[in-house]
Amino acid sequence: MARGVATRLSRVEPVAVRAVGALALASLAATVVLGLWFTPEDQVMGNLVRLLYVHPPVAWVAYLAFGVTAACSIAYLWPRTRSPFWDRLGAASAEIGVVFCALTLATGSIWGRPTWGVWWTWDARLTTTALLLALFAGYLAIRRVTVDPAARAKRSAVVALVAFADVPIVHMSVLWWRTLHQPPTVFRPGFGDPTLATPMAWTLLLAFCAFTLAYVWLLAHRYRVAVLEARMEGEGLELALAERRAEAGYGEGPGGIEGGAGSGGDGPGQAPVPVGAR
């Protein structure tokens, strides 16, 4: 199944990826122009409301990216669908999610300073978001310390699922606890009556689409990097194995230490050949 998904994805590349990239760029530019110059000011917040077209969409993409990582982790842990494809896609999405989560905290801090008078406060929403960033940074760290690809994929999938449990806590934190952060404007329980003027709502919708397209474009490219990294890792392993075989005497001919007939190695007189070269 995963192989089929990968094959189908690869068939639509690179034209689809370029189209998504162009759409993302155009919609981001439109968001900036509309958000900075054409949308109205807010009666209470004034011009600061323009950060609305950046901060919530960026937070949404962080949720989405971590959600994709969690879904890929389930697909990897499920024996019927286990494939390196899900592991690589989940890791690629997590890295992008960390970037967007850091941006969520940065833009929130920039918005908080003039609104609340502080860059940071140990508010429930801010604290749980910082925890989310730390958890997925830990996920990326775990991927770097485990050498065996299968063990790494399994461990990181479990960590991703544990880390993702924080996402609903982050989202509901403004309803569960008394916080400085305002309650949800759009994704409120019941999805009823978003409290936005029409031009603001359309620009916000455009911003959500723009940042989502940027995420899809980044994911396609980051996934390619993950595939190439895996190949490098495999080639490095094969090279190391070939060197160890050479050190142990494989390939020295019939007179070698283990190179004689029936040794079960590379056969008499054969030089060590990387597996991928056969």
> What does the alpha-carbon distance between residue 121 and residue 123 come to, in Å, rounded to a whole number?
5
Closer residue to other proteins, CB minimum distance, 48 or 186: 48
Which residue type sits at 172? M
* Rg of the chain in Å (alpha carbons): 25
- Shortest distance (Å) from residue 170 CB to other proteins: 19
> What does the alpha-carbon distance between residue 52 and residue 69 come to, in Å, rounded to a whole number?
26
- Shortest distance (Å) from residue 241 CB to other proteins: 18
* 3-state helix vs strand vs coil in the chain, percent to 5: 75, 0, 25
229 binds other proteins (CB under 8 A): yes
> What does the alpha-carbon distance between residue 177 and residue 123 come to, in Å, rounded to a whole number?
9
199 binds other proteins (CB under 8 A): no
106 binds other proteins (CB under 8 A): yes
- What is the longest distance spanned by two Cα atoms in the chain? 89
Q: Report which DSSP code applies to 190.
A: T
244 binds other proteins (CB under 8 A): no
> What does the alpha-carbon distance between residue 233 and residue 22 come to, in Å, rounded to a whole number?
32
Q: Phi first, then psi: give them for residue 149, nearest 5 degrees.
A: -60, -40
- Shortest distance (Å) from residue 249 CB to other proteins: 29
47 binds other proteins (CB under 8 A): yes
222 binds other proteins (CB under 8 A): yes
137 binds other proteins (CB under 8 A): no
Closer residue to other proteins, CB minimum distance, 170 or 220: 220
Q: 46 by DSSP, 3-state: which?
A: strand
Tell how far CA 264 is from the center of its chain. Answer: 44
Q: Please identify which residue in 23, 30, 48, 209 interacts with other proteins, judged by CB under 8 A.
A: 48
> What does the alpha-carbon distance between residue 6 and residue 24 come to, in Å, rounded to a whole number?
23
Q: Please identify which residue in 107, 179, 212, 263 interacts with other proteins, judged by CB under 8 A.
A: 107
Closer residue to other proteins, CB minimum distance, 235 or 266: 235
143 binds other proteins (CB under 8 A): no
> What does the alpha-carbon distance between residue 221 and residue 39 come to, in Å, rounded to a whole number?
33
182 binds other proteins (CB under 8 A): no
The interface region with other proteins, picked from 106-114, 143-151, 156-164, 194-202 by CB under 8 A, is: 106-114
- Shortest distance (Å) from residue 224 CB to other proteins: 5
List residues bridging with 42 in a β-sheet.
46
Closer residue to other proteins, CB minimum distance, 197 or 228: 228
Give CA torsion, residues 125, 127, 132, 134, to 10 deg: 160
Q: Please identify which residue in 154, 155, 188, 224 interacts with other proteins, judged by CB under 8 A.
A: 224
Give the footprint of other proteins on this chain (CB under 8 A). 10-11, 13-14, 28, 32, 35-36, 46-48, 50-51, 54-55, 58, 96, 99, 102-103, 106-107, 110-111, 113-114, 214, 218, 221-222, 224-225, 227-229, 231-232, 235
